[in-house]
Amino acid sequence: MTPTARRATAHPSSNPTRAAHRPARLAIPTAIAWLVVTANPPTAAAQLPSLVELSAQYTPPTQLDGAQPVQSQIASYDVAIHLPIALSGGRLLLPGVAYHADAVAYSQLPADAKTHDTFQAPELSMMFVQRLPDRWAVMVRGGVGIAGRLDSVDARMIQYSALALVSRSISDRLMLGGGALVTGGFGRVLPLPAVSVRWRPSADVLVDAFVPAFATVRYTRWNRIEVGARIEATQSVYAIRDGNRWPCTAQPSDDPVTAPDEAMASPDACLDHVTYTVASAGLLAGVRLTSTIWLTTFAGVTLYRHTQRQDRDGDDLPGGSQHPPGATVVRTSLAWRLPGS
């Protein structure tokens, strides 16, 4: 899953008259977005990401499949920044930049083995929102980035994503949307349907879902504290370049202890990238620090985890599948949200 557009959320807003008294450097992009959002709150706000979001996630050590008792622990970090640019005719442009990193630590390995690995995924994106008559709206987003260890970079590390979504505000409490999501890179293209739902059964409760990425139910009290539940799914693909090692490259001599002939390359068994898929569910709690800045913590468990090693054509390598056991997940996020979202 593309990191992206990873956790776009929408939350209750603060009073716009209070926002006018913030420093100008913070108020300018917020005021621009506010003009667009208030023109059609249920439609526009539901589709817009936070202006700035920082998050850190921790997954404790878990046992990996295999004969050796190896454990892995993952720490993930995300930064996303979007700048809203208001255009004429009810249009909004949001260029964005995002960075995701997974730092993996291994334990119980042989003394000469690598115990740490860092996978990184920077991305540039552009989002376009067009309001239409009768409470309709169209949103189009495109993103491109690279993903891998980044100790060496090549064109095959490029990933891309595209999303097109048409939505309509049925009422001030209900918005429905549908469209298509396409991700590509590393020799594969994955098209998926996309469904968006934003429903307020009451003034304090919000149901927000974007399938296939997440579904959230939140209850907000005093416009300052929120609690709720969330289920989410992500997929990350990272390039791994071991071109100077067997089986990607023939070695000067064969190791007589092992069955394969290392003096001959085996391109079909050469590792090109790894795909990591995870689904999680848990509870969340947040507090509004200022009129538009929220601090939120998510604590849950993984329902499904799968790591697959693949070649340059996207085919699975023999023995390259791992199904780590379930684990706890804790994530803390600091977000500068749009008013009305």
In this prediction, residue 71 carries a pLDDT of 81
Considering the entire predicted model, what is its pTM? 0.80
Closest CA to 292 of 50, 79, 47, 93: 50
pLDDT tens per residue, the chain (341 residues)?
A: 433 333 333 333 333 333 334 444 444 454 444 444 444 444 444 457 899 999 999 999 887 766 567 788 899 999 999 998 988 888 899 999 999 999 988 886 666 667 788 999 999 999 999 999 999 999 999 999 999 988 888 888 899 999 999 999 999 899 999 999 999 988 788 999 999 999 999 999 999 999 999 999 999 999 899 999 999 999 999 988 765 665 565 455 555 555 555 545 566 667 878 899 999 999 999 999 998 899 999 999 999 999 888 887 778 887 778 888 889 999 999 999 876 56
In this prediction, residue 194 carries a pLDDT of 94
In this prediction, residue 52 carries a pLDDT of 95
In this prediction, residue 113 carries a pLDDT of 65
Query: Between the CA of residue 260 and those of 133, 194, 253, what are the distances in Å?
Result: 66, 46, 12
Question: Angle CA(143)–CA(118)–CA(310) in degrees, nearest 5?
Answer: 70
Closest CA to 68 of 12, 15, 108: 108
In this prediction, residue 156 carries a pLDDT of 83
